[in-house]
Structure 1
């Protein structure tokens, strides 16, 4: 997966938006103003940060060499995935889906209704 495919996939999620709130090099994807994914625009290969259930985050780090504790993020809740081709795009997409769903699951009921979740 390259950065264009990653961006397209994230923006294909219902209610997803993109912004650069941390400076021009960090591309952030949010749903209902909550981050579910971020990456470097200039150095995509340095990793994609995705939210993850803490127990599952540790399992993924143990199973896949390309999955690391979240860089510059809460390492309990975030993983950094190196998009180096060592896992299939379908698996990376599943991890993006999981991050997105995790964020949606934590939204207040009124926000979910507003966004149609």
Structure 2
């Protein structure tokens, strides 16, 4: 088990624990720690499975904190995904340019030999 799995989550109220996990997920997204994000998501799934279908009125504040953290996490993960896509596109462009230069160099070498 890693140190992440031993991090404390709010004891007692499961809705406070959900809010705390959401904040930990946000931190993991901010730092790009995908392994930690995966562990936290697994913990989230286990905890959510224990909750009733309808939250009690007293859970509202904790659920609002969780929703805010999740919205911020979603933005960060979307930006990260888009950044990876942009990097792959640039990599493909660089590869095509290199192939083009290689072909041009080969034609020039053949022309010099003739």
Q: Which has the larger radius of gyration?
A: 2
TM-score by length of 1: 0.29
More strand by share: 1
More helix by share: 2
Q: Using CA pairs below 8 Å that are at least 6 residues apart, which structure has the higher relative contact order? A: 2
TM-score by length of 2: 0.29
